[in-house]
Amino acid sequence: MKIYTKTGDEGQTSLFGGTRVPKHHIRINAYGTVDELNSWLGLLRDQEMDAAHQQILISIQDKLFTLGAILATDPEKWTLKNGKERLDIPKISEKDITLLESQIDLMNTSLPPMTHFILPGGHTTVSYCHISRTICRRAERMATLLNENEPFDPLVIKYLNRLSDYLFVLGRKLSQDLKAEEIKWIPEKKG
């Protein structure tokens, strides 16, 4: 596979199916943000943490490639002339969302109850988790905007929404595991 094609030198790129769009198209922003999230999750996974967390992150990264492929496909060219779907890959499923929910529930069993918002930080690994969470929220915002104009599988948005919850709870769990202080946000009183 050739790395440079020169076909994007004038600010256009191709979706799966061949449709050409500007590189600033909302579809490109949506799957580009998912790609950015995937890179941050790779950095997060490279940190010292329980191997089980790393395995879940690998699974999530795999799903993000699937999600990116869905977002990168022109909906008008989703189906091939022979009636088959263009993407011959497993879709995002309720099972994928249930995995995130079960991991959230599992981590929450050992965490103290939340009584306030928490300031991001406390340890580099935790900070990477919070950065990933905010990029996930941006990907979700981009995907919902795209979906308003060109609807796609609703499980994509549901997965991104649950993933940001997972990353928040993972940040709390990593704070606990790394013995990092969670600083509560307690607004100062006026006057």
Q: Minimum mean pLDDT among 14-23, 98-107, 161-170: which range? A: 14-23
- Kindly write down the DSSP assignment for every residue of 11-71, as one continuous string: SEEE-BTS-EEETTSHHHHHHHHHHHHHHHHHHHHTSS--HHHHHHHHHHHHHHHHHHHHH
What's the rounded Cα separation, in Å, for the pair 107 and 181? Answer: 17
Please state the rounded mean pLDDT for residues 41-67: 97
Per-residue confidence at 157, pLDDT binned at 50, 70, 90?
very high
Specify the pLDDT at position 187. Answer: 85
* Integer Cα distance of 167 and 183 in angstroms: 17
The per-residue pLDDT for range 90-142, each reduced to its tens digit, is 899 999 999 999 999 999 999 999 888 999 999 999 999 999 999 999 999 99
Angle, CA of 128, 129 and 131, to the nearest 5°:
65
Q: What does the pLDDT average to over 37-64? A: 97
Condensed to tens digits (0 to 9), the pLDDT of residues 77-88 reads 666 677 777 677
Distance CA 138, CA 129 (A): 14
> Once rounded to an integer, what is the mean pLDDT over residues 21-30?
78
Q: Which residue has the higher pLDDT, 6 or 173?
A: 173
Amino acid 10: pLDDT:
67
Domain annotation for the chain: domains and CATH numbers = 22-73+90-185 (1.20.1200.10)
**What is the per-residue pLDDT for 24?**
73
Which residues are within 8 A (CB) of 161 and not within 5 positions of it... i.e. 6 or more apart? 140
